[in-house]
Amino acid sequence: MGFEPTNVGFANRCLRPLGYPADAWLRAQFSKAGLIRQAENEQEDTKRWIFCVRAACLGVNCGLTLWYGGCRMGADMAKNAKLIELETRSVWSLLVSYSLPAIVGMAAMSAFNIVDAIFVGQWCGAYAITAMALVFPLMNLQAAVGSLVGLGCAATASITLGQGDYHRAFRVLGHCVMLSLITGLLAGVLPAPWMDEILHIFGAEGETLEPAHDFMLVMMLGFPVTCSFMNMNHLMRASGYPVKAMVSLLISMLVNVATAPLFIYVMGWGMIGAGLATIVAQAVGLSWVLIHFCKPRSVLHFRRHIYKLNGVIVRRICTVGLPPFMLNFCACVIVVVFNRQFMAYDGQMGVGAYGIVNRLLFFFVMVVLGITQGLQPIAGYNLGVGNYARVRRVLFYAMAAGTCVTSFGTLLVELFPREIVSIFIEETDANAAQLLEIAAHGVCLMAICFPLVGAQIVIGNFFQSIGRPVMSISLNLTRQLFFLLPCLGILPLWLGESGIWLSQATADGLAAILCFVVLYLFFKRSFHRQDSTLNHSTHTTQPMQTYTLILASRNAHKAQEIAAMLPSRFTVKTLADFPEAPEVEETGKTFAANAALKAEGISAVLPGLVLADDSGLCVDALCGSPGVLSARYAGEHGNDAANNRKLLAELRAMPAMAPYSARFVCAMSLAQDGKQMAAFEGKAEGHISLQPRGAAGFGYDPIFVPEGLHATFAELSPAEKNAISHRACALVQLVEYLESYGK
């Protein structure tokens, strides 16, 4: 006589770290405690022993279950709190908590350029820092390509999470991974063989060509790492983890500061060392980000079936990411024009001086962009849930903060221009002295209207955050192309070199006025103060397509689960709403056949779109059973508990084969007017737990453990289950089909 197999195995696993077999160790402890006395016969002793051990195992089971449940509940509450606080917490407090990490992170990003420029200027000379100024537009072009994916994914994920569409949010994560690698290869590695020709286009020649080539070759070959790091960091921040996003950038900055002098000066690698230090630092930061997305407790995390590219999602990401792409692309063009103008008036030292001033003011711009990144998830999420008063409030707070930052930057450079510029290069020769003189004079002229830039940047990024890419693009293009380019062509003719610097200030002033006018008109005409009258569209000015689905089932649990997984624009009705609907006999031998029978049968008598599904559990050890008989495995009048008991009894009667691999399968059929329109299938891989756990869910949920987790479906929160279930996988395909079909 002995233990039940499950109790023996559980006790041995729990007690193995103590160095004893479970039975021997427990017998010794119970004897010491007086719970086991020497019986007159062996049978009585065995009965007492089994009773005590089972009681102990039950206690351990209960204790660990309560502990595990508490951990899961804490994880669920923490995960939901990330999103709930966006809707309930004080707007100013939210903006501060989200913006401060982003500001530190963006400042760290700017520090990549500044640190490289300082080390290069101090140890490689004036021509080397001029070379970095010449390749700066090429780096802007790479940043443009990266922001198309990264900021597009971030804004799309925030709005999607706010709408409760978790399936689409996970797909956005998968698209971010794949598109980052693709754009990194296309914009970085592929053009590398033509590096010299590209640098000639950007103005590198003579003494500046070799250092420019050395630096950019490393940067382009490492661009897949750069692109993946920046884009996934944006997405991590947008999904509710601003502090982690800040830490990743800080780690990268510290690694860059540590490796740059080592590679440039100690190892003597010069410009190659500068580029290599940046890529190594970003690779370390990427590792931190990947660790975050590998954790199942993260709101968005890596999982199977999210990496296949979908045209609808790609278009949406690119549409929302188009404004920052255009901004960076135009910045690339503008810097090229600036470089050519300075080359004409001041030669190569003028280009180097502009590179220093541009990096210096760009630091304050990056701080403002940090504020806008804190604004983005707050505005996007609250727009998604319809809380428009909070959207307005966070915008005005962000505008005020941005104006303060740029005003402080203006005050600093106007009071101490030469002292700040001299950080980048020492006055060791005539070239360095000329460069310092031009830069100190230029920064004072360029910063005249810089206080207005803060609010201007916030307004442009606000329109992107709420899914108004056309307005954001228009404002950015107007500033760069219609104000700055004409000024660069006209003012130098009148004012010479000073006209080049004043072109930026003039364009900043005109663009700020335009932004204020557009924002005023937007609030007056479109963004009404009464929340109930605002257009709910997040991506276009047209109302989003809505759908009514008739579910060919009277199963209330299934209907609630499907309704919870679909976006809010879907309305789900069941056959309980249509008493006249007939019962369709499921005579098919596969899930797909049964789903098609129900969908076609119901749609023949009811108007509209009919969705039918047939799902069940397939256990490999039982040759795929219960399969299509899952709902009636214990007989026609069986219930969930009876079905579970029968399945577990059959498995326990088999030779030890644990873990018993299994999968939930869901086949869906969409039909109209008696004809099937499309079919979808989703699967959730996992194994069977011989001990039912959890009170949520229905069917076989208490005994099914999904792949990669330790909890059963019945122990997961509805949001967690709905994000990974077989039915969720099929519904994602359904939503994508209907969106394409509706167009």
Report the CATH number at residue 632.
3.90.950.10
CB neighbours of residue 64 within 10 Å: 12
Q: Same domain, yes or no, for 73 and 137?
A: no
Please report, rounded to a whole number, the percentage of residues in the chain having pLDDT higher than 70: 82
Q: Same domain, yes or no, for 579 and 527?
A: no
Q: Are 547 and 571 in contact (CB under 8 A)?
A: yes
Q: Are 700 and 647 in contact (CB under 8 A)?
A: yes
pLDDT of residue 339: 86
Reading across the β-sheet that carries 570-574, which strands appear in turn?
Answer: 570-574, 547-551, 609-619, 660-672, 675-688, 704-706
Domain membership of residue 540 (yes or no) is no
Task: Please give the C-alpha separations between residue 308 and each of 224, 322, 480, 616, 656, in angstroms, as whole numbers.
Answer: 19, 22, 36, 25, 38
Task: Please give the C-alpha separations between residue 364 and each of 375, 400, 401, 463, in angstroms, as whole numbers.
Answer: 17, 15, 12, 21
Average pLDDT over residues 305-316: 86
> Can you say how many angstroms the Cα of residue 551 is from the centroid of all Cα atoms in its chain?
32
- Alpha carbon dihedral 507, 510, 511, 517, in 10-degree steps, equals 180
| Confidence category of residue 404, pLDDT binned at 50, 70, 90 | very high
Residues 677-695 as b or e (16 or more Cβ within 10 Å = b): bebbbbbbebbbbeebbbe
**pLDDT tens per residue, range 706-719:** 887 788 888 888 77
Q: Could you tell me which of 371, 424, 103 has the C-alpha nearest to residue 250?
A: 103
Number of domains in the chain: 3
Q: Are 119 and 264 in contact (CB under 8 A)?
A: yes
Range of lowest pLDDT (180-189, 289-298, 535-544):
535-544
Domain membership of residue 520 (yes or no) is yes
Average pLDDT over residues 186-196: 87
3-state secondary structure of 677: strand
pLDDT of residue 74: 46
45 or 724: whose pLDDT is higher? 724
d(CA 549, CA 608): 7
d(CA 712, CA 704): 5
Q: Tokens 């399936």 appear where?
A: 167
Domain membership of residue 539 (yes or no) is no
Vertex 620 angle, CA 614 and 623, to 5° = 80
What are the phi and psi torsion angles at 670 (to 5°)? -110, 125
Average pLDDT over residues 34-42: 45
Q: Same domain, yes or no, for 109 and 211?
A: yes
SS3 annotation, 113-141: HHHHHHHHHHHHCHHHHHHHHHHHHHHHH
Task: Please give the C-alpha separations between residue 291 and each of 244, 285, 288, 412, 605, in angstroms, as whole numbers.
Answer: 11, 10, 5, 39, 53
pLDDT of residue 69: 45
Q: Is the pLDDT of residue 621 over 70?
A: yes
111 or 151: whose pLDDT is higher? 151
Q: Return the top range by mean pLDDT from 48-57, 67-76, 215-224.
A: 215-224
Please say whether the dihedral angle defined by the alpha carbons of residues 270, 272, 278 and 281, taken in this order, is positive or negative.
negative
- Here the tokens at position 575 are 């056959």
Q: Same domain, yes or no, for 77 and 226?
A: no
Q: Same domain, yes or no, for 526 and 569?
A: no
Domain membership of residue 360 (yes or no) is yes
| Confidence category of residue 150, pLDDT binned at 50, 70, 90 | confident
pLDDT of residue 455: 92
| Confidence category of residue 57, pLDDT binned at 50, 70, 90 | very low
CB neighbours of residue 267 within 10 Å: 13
Domain membership of residue 480 (yes or no) is yes
81 or 11: whose pLDDT is higher? 81
DSSP assignment letter at 669 = E
Q: Is the pLDDT of residue 244 over 90?
A: no
Task: Please give the C-alpha separations between residue 491 and each of 336, 485, 495, 507, in angstroms, as whole numbers.
Answer: 17, 10, 6, 11
Q: Are 438 and 418 in contact (CB under 8 A)?
A: no
pLDDT of residue 8: 37
- Here the tokens at position 184 are 């990194």
Q: Same domain, yes or no, for 266 and 228?
A: yes
Q: Same domain, yes or no, for 425 and 471?
A: yes
Q: E-assigned strands of 599-703?
A: 609-619, 660-672, 675-688
Range of lowest pLDDT (10-14, 328-332, 562-566, 589-593):
10-14
Q: Are 159 and 153 in contact (CB under 8 A)?
A: no
Using the 3D structure, point to which of 42, 59, 81 is the last residue of a domain: 81
**pLDDT tens per residue, range 501-526:** 999 999 999 999 999 998 888 877 76
Range of lowest pLDDT (40-54, 128-142, 282-296):
40-54
What are the phi and psi torsion angles at 678 (to 5°)? -160, 160
pLDDT of residue 266: 87
| Confidence category of residue 133, pLDDT binned at 50, 70, 90 | confident
d(CA 601, CA 674): 6
Using the 3D structure, point to which of 481, 507, 533 is the last residue of a domain: 533
Q: Tokens 């039940």 appear where?
A: 4
d(CA 385, CA 381): 6
Average pLDDT over residues 129-155: 82
Average pLDDT over residues 401-426: 90
3-state secondary structure of 23: helix
| Confidence category of residue 185, pLDDT binned at 50, 70, 90 | very high
Active site residues: 614
pLDDT of residue 2: 36
DSSP string of 43-59? HHHHHHHHHHHHHHHHH
d(CA 481, CA 443): 22
Domain membership of residue 268 (yes or no) is yes
Q: Same domain, yes or no, for 514 and 434?
A: yes
Average pLDDT over residues 378-392: 75
Q: Same domain, yes or no, for 514 and 603?
A: no
Q: Same domain, yes or no, for 622 and 520?
A: no
pLDDT of residue 84: 65
Using the 3D structure, point to which of 511, 533, 555 is the last residue of a domain: 533
Q: Which domain holds residue 14?
A: 5-81
Q: Same domain, yes or no, for 236 and 385?
A: yes
pLDDT of residue 26: 45
pLDDT of residue 77: 43
Domain membership of residue 282 (yes or no) is yes
DSSP string of 502-555? HHHHHHHHHHHHHHHHHHHHHHHHTS-SSGGGS---SSSSSPPP-EEEEES---
Range of lowest pLDDT (77-86, 625-634, 720-729):
77-86
Domain membership of residue 295 (yes or no) is yes
| Confidence category of residue 660, pLDDT binned at 50, 70, 90 | confident
pLDDT of residue 470: 74
pLDDT of residue 570: 77
Task: Please give the C-alpha separations between residue 174 and each of 225, 305, 307, 685, in angstroms, as whole numbers.
Answer: 16, 8, 4, 19
Q: Same domain, yes or no, for 73 and 197?
A: no
